[in-house]
Amino acid sequence: MKKQIIFHIGMEKTGTTSLQNFCHNNRRLLLAHDILYPTTRLSYSFWRRNHLPLVAAYLRERDDNSLDLSPFPGSRAQVVSALHREIARSPARTVLISAEHLSSRFSALDIEKLAADFSQFDCLIAATVRRHDSFVGAAHSTAVNAGAHFTIDEYFQHMSLPGARYARFAEILAAWSSVFGRQALRLFVYENHGDMTDPILRCADPEFSPSAAPRLNRSLESGPASLSVIRRFNRDLFESGDFDSDPITNALIWVARWRLKAAAAKLRAGPDRDMRARPETLARFKEIAELDRISLRENFGVDLPEMPAVEEHVVSEELDHAAREFLAKTKIARSLFLRAARHWSRLRRSRGWGS
Protein backbone atom coordinates (compact mmCIF):
# COMPACT_ATOMS: atom_id res chain seq x y z
CA MET A 1 0.00 0.00 0.00
CA LYS A 2 1.36 3.41 -0.98
CA LYS A 3 2.13 5.98 1.64
CA GLN A 4 0.10 9.17 1.35
CA ILE A 5 1.53 12.68 1.10
CA ILE A 6 -0.64 15.70 1.78
CA PHE A 7 0.82 18.84 0.26
CA HIS A 8 -0.64 21.77 2.18
CA ILE A 9 -0.10 24.58 -0.35
CA GLY A 10 -1.71 27.51 1.50
CA MET A 11 -3.08 29.86 0.36
CA GLU A 12 -1.07 32.46 2.23
CA LYS A 13 -2.87 34.36 5.01
CA THR A 14 -5.21 31.47 5.80
CA GLY A 15 -3.91 30.28 9.16
CA THR A 16 -0.84 28.55 7.73
CA THR A 17 1.51 29.73 10.49
CA SER A 18 -0.79 28.38 13.20
CA LEU A 19 -0.94 24.99 11.49
CA GLN A 20 2.82 24.86 11.01
CA ASN A 21 3.55 25.86 14.60
CA PHE A 22 1.12 23.24 15.84
CA CYS A 23 2.65 20.51 13.71
CA HIS A 24 6.19 21.46 14.73
CA ASN A 25 5.35 21.54 18.44
CA ASN A 26 3.25 18.36 18.39
CA ARG A 27 5.22 16.00 16.16
CA ARG A 28 4.87 13.13 18.64
CA LEU A 29 1.12 13.62 18.80
CA LEU A 30 0.96 13.57 15.01
CA LEU A 31 2.98 10.34 14.89
CA ALA A 32 0.48 8.83 17.33
CA HIS A 33 -2.11 9.59 14.65
CA ASP A 34 0.13 8.00 11.99
CA ILE A 35 1.14 11.41 10.56
CA LEU A 36 4.73 12.45 9.83
CA TYR A 37 5.64 16.14 9.72
CA PRO A 38 9.11 15.89 8.12
CA THR A 39 11.96 17.90 9.60
CA THR A 40 14.95 16.72 7.59
CA ARG A 41 17.42 19.60 7.39
CA LEU A 42 17.51 20.05 3.61
CA SER A 43 13.74 20.29 3.17
CA TYR A 44 12.65 21.95 6.42
CA SER A 45 13.13 25.37 7.98
CA PHE A 46 13.21 25.13 11.78
CA TRP A 47 13.00 28.92 11.93
CA ARG A 48 9.83 29.10 9.82
CA ARG A 49 8.63 25.65 10.89
CA ASN A 50 7.59 24.76 7.37
CA HIS A 51 8.98 23.28 4.16
CA LEU A 52 10.06 26.50 2.48
CA PRO A 53 13.49 25.01 1.54
CA LEU A 54 11.69 22.42 -0.59
CA VAL A 55 9.93 25.19 -2.51
CA ALA A 56 13.15 27.19 -2.84
CA ALA A 57 14.95 24.20 -4.38
CA TYR A 58 12.45 24.06 -7.26
CA LEU A 59 12.51 27.82 -7.79
CA ARG A 60 16.30 27.89 -7.80
CA GLU A 61 16.32 25.58 -10.82
CA ARG A 62 14.76 28.36 -12.87
CA ASP A 63 17.11 31.01 -11.43
CA ASP A 64 14.53 32.36 -8.99
CA ASN A 65 16.38 32.98 -5.74
CA SER A 66 13.70 35.17 -4.18
CA LEU A 67 13.12 32.72 -1.32
CA ASP A 68 16.80 32.37 -0.51
CA LEU A 69 16.90 35.10 2.12
CA SER A 70 19.52 32.95 3.79
CA PRO A 71 20.42 30.47 1.06
CA PHE A 72 19.07 27.00 1.68
CA PRO A 73 21.57 24.23 0.98
CA GLY A 74 20.98 21.48 -1.51
CA SER A 75 19.81 21.06 -5.08
CA ARG A 76 16.31 19.91 -5.90
CA ALA A 77 17.53 16.31 -6.29
CA GLN A 78 19.33 16.43 -2.93
CA VAL A 79 16.36 17.96 -1.12
CA VAL A 80 13.89 15.46 -2.58
CA SER A 81 16.20 12.52 -1.80
CA ALA A 82 16.61 13.64 1.80
CA LEU A 83 12.85 13.92 2.17
CA HIS A 84 12.33 10.47 0.63
CA ARG A 85 14.78 8.95 3.11
CA GLU A 86 13.01 10.48 6.09
CA ILE A 87 9.64 9.25 4.82
CA ALA A 88 11.03 5.75 4.28
CA ARG A 89 12.44 5.62 7.83
CA SER A 90 9.17 6.67 9.45
CA PRO A 91 6.44 4.13 10.26
CA ALA A 92 3.78 6.78 9.61
CA ARG A 93 1.49 6.07 6.68
CA THR A 94 0.66 9.73 6.01
CA VAL A 95 3.07 12.61 5.45
CA LEU A 96 2.13 16.29 5.77
CA ILE A 97 4.24 18.83 3.88
CA SER A 98 3.26 22.45 4.46
CA ALA A 99 4.49 25.52 2.58
CA GLU A 100 2.18 28.34 1.51
CA HIS A 101 4.65 29.38 -1.19
CA LEU A 102 3.68 26.24 -3.09
CA SER A 103 0.54 28.09 -4.13
CA SER A 104 1.95 31.58 -4.58
CA ARG A 105 5.27 30.75 -6.29
CA PHE A 106 4.94 27.43 -8.12
CA SER A 107 4.50 27.51 -11.89
CA ALA A 108 2.76 24.79 -13.89
CA LEU A 109 6.16 23.26 -14.67
CA ASP A 110 7.15 23.29 -10.99
CA ILE A 111 3.95 21.42 -10.14
CA GLU A 112 4.69 18.82 -12.83
CA LYS A 113 8.21 18.32 -11.44
CA LEU A 114 6.83 17.94 -7.91
CA ALA A 115 4.34 15.32 -9.11
CA ALA A 116 7.12 13.39 -10.86
CA ASP A 117 9.39 13.54 -7.81
CA PHE A 118 6.69 12.08 -5.56
CA SER A 119 4.92 9.84 -8.07
CA GLN A 120 5.37 6.73 -5.91
CA PHE A 121 3.08 8.24 -3.28
CA ASP A 122 -0.66 8.80 -3.13
CA CYS A 123 -0.76 12.61 -3.22
CA LEU A 124 -3.46 14.94 -1.92
CA ILE A 125 -3.47 18.73 -2.24
CA ALA A 126 -4.93 20.70 0.70
CA ALA A 127 -5.70 24.36 0.06
CA THR A 128 -7.62 27.09 1.86
CA VAL A 129 -9.13 30.19 0.26
CA ARG A 130 -10.27 33.41 1.89
CA ARG A 131 -12.60 36.26 0.98
CA HIS A 132 -10.60 38.26 -1.53
CA ASP A 133 -10.51 41.69 0.11
CA SER A 134 -9.61 40.40 3.57
CA PHE A 135 -6.96 38.19 1.95
CA VAL A 136 -5.33 41.16 0.22
CA GLY A 137 -5.62 43.30 3.34
CA ALA A 138 -3.86 40.66 5.45
CA ALA A 139 -1.16 40.22 2.80
CA HIS A 140 -0.59 43.98 2.72
CA SER A 141 -0.18 44.04 6.50
CA THR A 142 2.41 41.27 6.35
CA ALA A 143 4.30 43.00 3.54
CA VAL A 144 4.43 46.33 5.39
CA ASN A 145 5.64 44.69 8.59
CA ALA A 146 8.39 43.09 6.51
CA GLY A 147 9.49 46.46 5.09
CA ALA A 148 7.19 47.27 2.16
CA HIS A 149 6.21 50.91 1.71
CA PHE A 150 3.29 50.76 -0.74
CA THR A 151 -0.20 51.89 0.29
CA ILE A 152 -3.20 49.61 0.50
CA ASP A 153 -4.57 51.32 -2.62
CA GLU A 154 -1.36 50.63 -4.53
CA TYR A 155 -1.47 47.01 -3.39
CA PHE A 156 -5.05 46.51 -4.58
CA GLN A 157 -4.09 48.10 -7.89
CA HIS A 158 -1.22 45.65 -8.25
CA MET A 159 -3.50 42.71 -7.47
CA SER A 160 -5.83 43.87 -10.23
CA LEU A 161 -3.16 43.62 -12.94
CA PRO A 162 -3.70 40.83 -15.50
CA GLY A 163 -0.49 39.03 -14.56
CA ALA A 164 -1.05 39.14 -10.80
CA ARG A 165 -2.11 35.59 -9.93
CA TYR A 166 -1.71 35.90 -6.15
CA ALA A 167 -5.43 36.47 -5.41
CA ARG A 168 -6.77 34.50 -8.37
CA PHE A 169 -7.48 31.33 -6.44
CA ALA A 170 -9.33 29.46 -9.19
CA GLU A 171 -6.39 29.88 -11.57
CA ILE A 172 -3.97 28.55 -8.95
CA LEU A 173 -6.18 25.57 -8.12
CA ALA A 174 -6.69 24.80 -11.81
CA ALA A 175 -2.92 24.47 -12.24
CA TRP A 176 -2.73 21.94 -9.40
CA SER A 177 -5.87 20.14 -10.53
CA SER A 178 -4.55 19.70 -14.06
CA VAL A 179 -1.54 17.77 -12.72
CA PHE A 180 -2.87 15.87 -9.70
CA GLY A 181 -6.53 15.65 -10.72
CA ARG A 182 -9.61 17.29 -9.25
CA GLN A 183 -10.18 14.28 -6.99
CA ALA A 184 -6.88 14.97 -5.20
CA LEU A 185 -7.90 18.46 -4.05
CA ARG A 186 -9.17 19.07 -0.52
CA LEU A 187 -10.46 22.64 -0.32
CA PHE A 188 -11.45 24.80 2.65
CA VAL A 189 -12.74 28.31 3.28
CA TYR A 190 -11.00 30.47 5.88
CA GLU A 191 -12.91 32.78 8.20
CA ASN A 192 -11.08 35.72 9.76
CA HIS A 193 -8.98 34.58 12.74
CA GLY A 194 -10.18 31.04 12.20
CA ASP A 195 -8.23 27.88 13.01
CA MET A 196 -7.54 25.57 10.06
CA THR A 197 -5.44 23.08 12.03
CA ASP A 198 -8.19 20.53 12.64
CA PRO A 199 -9.70 20.54 9.12
CA ILE A 200 -6.29 20.10 7.48
CA LEU A 201 -5.17 17.35 9.86
CA ARG A 202 -8.46 15.51 9.45
CA CYS A 203 -7.47 15.04 5.81
CA ALA A 204 -4.82 12.71 7.21
CA ASP A 205 -6.81 11.25 10.09
CA PRO A 206 -10.60 11.77 10.26
CA GLU A 207 -10.42 10.86 13.96
CA PHE A 208 -8.01 13.66 14.81
CA SER A 209 -9.33 15.28 17.99
CA PRO A 210 -9.92 19.04 18.00
CA SER A 211 -8.98 19.08 21.69
CA ALA A 212 -5.89 16.91 21.32
CA ALA A 213 -3.51 19.76 22.12
CA PRO A 214 -3.49 23.54 22.48
CA ARG A 215 -2.74 25.51 19.35
CA LEU A 216 -1.38 28.92 18.51
CA ASN A 217 -3.70 31.00 16.39
CA ARG A 218 -2.71 34.54 17.29
CA SER A 219 -3.09 36.93 14.38
CA LEU A 220 0.09 38.77 13.45
CA GLU A 221 -1.73 41.55 11.62
CA SER A 222 -1.27 45.13 12.83
CA GLY A 223 -4.07 47.60 13.49
CA PRO A 224 -4.66 50.37 10.92
CA ALA A 225 -3.03 53.14 12.96
CA SER A 226 0.04 51.07 13.79
CA LEU A 227 0.33 49.82 10.21
CA SER A 228 0.19 53.36 8.87
CA VAL A 229 3.12 54.35 11.09
CA ILE A 230 5.22 51.38 9.98
CA ARG A 231 4.41 51.95 6.30
CA ARG A 232 5.31 55.66 6.56
CA PHE A 233 8.56 54.69 8.30
CA ASN A 234 9.36 52.24 5.49
CA ARG A 235 8.66 54.84 2.82
CA ASP A 236 10.80 57.45 4.55
CA LEU A 237 13.70 54.99 4.62
CA PHE A 238 13.20 54.13 0.95
CA GLU A 239 12.94 57.74 -0.20
CA SER A 240 16.01 58.80 1.79
CA GLY A 241 18.26 56.60 -0.33
CA ASP A 242 20.60 56.31 2.67
CA PHE A 243 20.37 52.58 3.21
CA ASP A 244 21.83 49.63 1.34
CA SER A 245 20.20 46.22 1.21
CA ASP A 246 22.68 43.93 2.93
CA PRO A 247 22.36 41.58 5.93
CA ILE A 248 23.82 43.99 8.50
CA THR A 249 21.79 47.01 7.36
CA ASN A 250 18.64 44.93 7.11
CA ALA A 251 19.15 43.53 10.62
CA LEU A 252 19.64 46.99 12.13
CA ILE A 253 16.55 48.34 10.35
CA TRP A 254 14.58 45.28 11.47
CA VAL A 255 15.37 46.08 15.12
CA ALA A 256 14.38 49.73 14.64
CA ARG A 257 11.13 48.67 12.96
CA TRP A 258 10.39 46.16 15.71
CA ARG A 259 10.82 48.85 18.39
CA LEU A 260 8.66 51.24 16.39
CA LYS A 261 5.97 48.60 15.96
CA ALA A 262 5.90 47.99 19.72
CA ALA A 263 5.44 51.72 20.37
CA ALA A 264 2.86 52.19 17.60
CA ALA A 265 0.83 49.22 18.83
CA LYS A 266 -0.56 51.51 21.53
CA LEU A 267 -2.19 53.72 18.90
CA ARG A 268 -5.88 53.27 18.33
CA ALA A 269 -7.76 54.33 15.23
CA GLY A 270 -11.26 55.71 15.62
CA PRO A 271 -14.16 53.26 15.27
CA ASP A 272 -14.88 54.51 11.74
CA ARG A 273 -11.27 54.52 10.60
CA ASP A 274 -9.63 51.81 8.60
CA MET A 275 -7.08 51.48 5.83
CA ARG A 276 -9.16 51.38 2.67
CA ALA A 277 -8.32 51.60 -0.97
CA ARG A 278 -10.13 54.18 -3.08
CA PRO A 279 -13.66 53.17 -4.13
CA GLU A 280 -12.71 52.99 -7.81
CA THR A 281 -9.75 50.75 -6.99
CA LEU A 282 -11.90 48.44 -4.88
CA ALA A 283 -14.62 48.36 -7.53
CA ARG A 284 -12.13 47.17 -10.15
CA PHE A 285 -10.72 44.54 -7.81
CA LYS A 286 -14.23 43.40 -6.87
CA GLU A 287 -14.97 42.64 -10.53
CA ILE A 288 -11.93 40.36 -10.65
CA ALA A 289 -12.78 38.78 -7.30
CA GLU A 290 -16.35 38.06 -8.40
CA LEU A 291 -15.18 36.27 -11.55
CA ASP A 292 -12.81 34.22 -9.43
CA ARG A 293 -15.57 33.47 -6.92
CA ILE A 294 -17.85 32.20 -9.68
CA SER A 295 -15.06 30.04 -11.10
CA LEU A 296 -14.36 28.56 -7.67
CA ARG A 297 -18.01 27.64 -7.24
CA GLU A 298 -18.52 26.22 -10.73
CA ASN A 299 -15.22 24.36 -11.10
CA PHE A 300 -14.34 23.35 -7.55
CA GLY A 301 -17.58 23.53 -5.56
CA VAL A 302 -16.19 26.18 -3.20
CA ASP A 303 -18.61 28.85 -2.02
CA LEU A 304 -16.46 31.82 -1.05
CA PRO A 305 -18.15 34.83 0.61
CA GLU A 306 -18.75 37.83 -1.62
CA MET A 307 -16.89 41.07 -1.08
CA PRO A 308 -19.12 43.69 0.59
CA ALA A 309 -20.41 46.67 -1.32
CA VAL A 310 -17.82 49.37 -1.97
CA GLU A 311 -18.40 52.31 0.35
CA GLU A 312 -17.34 55.93 0.18
CA HIS A 313 -14.94 55.50 3.06
CA VAL A 314 -11.50 56.90 2.37
CA VAL A 315 -9.55 57.75 5.50
CA SER A 316 -6.11 56.35 4.68
CA GLU A 317 -4.94 59.94 4.15
CA GLU A 318 -5.98 60.80 7.72
CA LEU A 319 -4.13 57.80 9.07
CA ASP A 320 -1.06 58.71 7.03
CA HIS A 321 -1.12 62.24 8.44
CA ALA A 322 -1.36 60.86 11.97
CA ALA A 323 1.52 58.50 11.19
CA ARG A 324 3.70 61.42 10.08
CA GLU A 325 2.95 63.25 13.34
CA PHE A 326 3.75 60.16 15.39
CA LEU A 327 7.07 59.64 13.61
CA ALA A 328 7.98 63.31 14.09
CA LYS A 329 7.47 62.98 17.85
CA THR A 330 8.99 59.59 18.50
CA LYS A 331 12.71 59.10 18.97
CA ILE A 332 12.65 55.57 17.58
CA ALA A 333 12.80 56.82 14.00
CA ARG A 334 16.13 58.49 14.89
CA SER A 335 17.36 55.61 17.03
CA LEU A 336 20.85 54.26 17.47
CA PHE A 337 19.98 51.34 15.20
CA LEU A 338 19.05 53.58 12.27
CA ARG A 339 22.11 55.75 12.77
CA ALA A 340 24.27 52.63 12.79
CA ALA A 341 22.55 51.33 9.64
CA ARG A 342 23.10 54.66 7.89
CA HIS A 343 26.78 54.81 8.86
CA TRP A 344 27.32 51.20 7.80
CA SER A 345 25.72 51.84 4.40
CA ARG A 346 27.93 54.89 3.88
CA LEU A 347 31.00 52.87 4.81
CA ARG A 348 30.05 50.14 2.34
CA ARG A 349 29.66 52.67 -0.43
CA SER A 350 32.90 54.50 0.35
CA ARG A 351 34.82 51.21 0.30
CA GLY A 352 32.99 49.85 -2.72
CA TRP A 353 31.76 46.80 -0.86
CA GLY A 354 28.95 44.94 -2.55
CA SER A 355 29.23 46.95 -5.76
pLDDT per residue over 109-123, tens digit each? Answer: 999 999 999 999 999
* Tens-digit pLDDT profile for residues 317-344: 777 788 888 888 887 767 889 999 999 9
Which residues does 174 contact at the CB level (< 8 Å), separation at least 6?
Answer: 299
What is the structure's pLDDT at 272?
43
pLDDT above 60 for 312 = no
What number does CATH give the domain 4-204?
3.40.50
Give the confidence band of 278 by pLDDT, cuts at 50, 70, 90.
confident
Domain borders along the chain are: 4-204, 224-273+313-351
Q: Which amino acid is at 84?
A: H
Q: Give, for 8, the enclosing helix (H) or strand (E).
A: strand 4-8
Stretch among 224-228, 279-283, 296-300, 318-322 having the lowest mean pLDDT: 318-322
What is the C-alpha separation between 56 and 63, in angstroms, rounded?
10
Query: What is 100-126 written as a DSSP string?
Result: THHHHH--HHHHHHHHHHTTTSEEEEE
Instruction: State pTM to two decimals.
Output: 0.90
Strand, helix or coil for residue 61: coil
**pLDDT > 70 fraction of the chain, expressed in percent and rounded:** 90
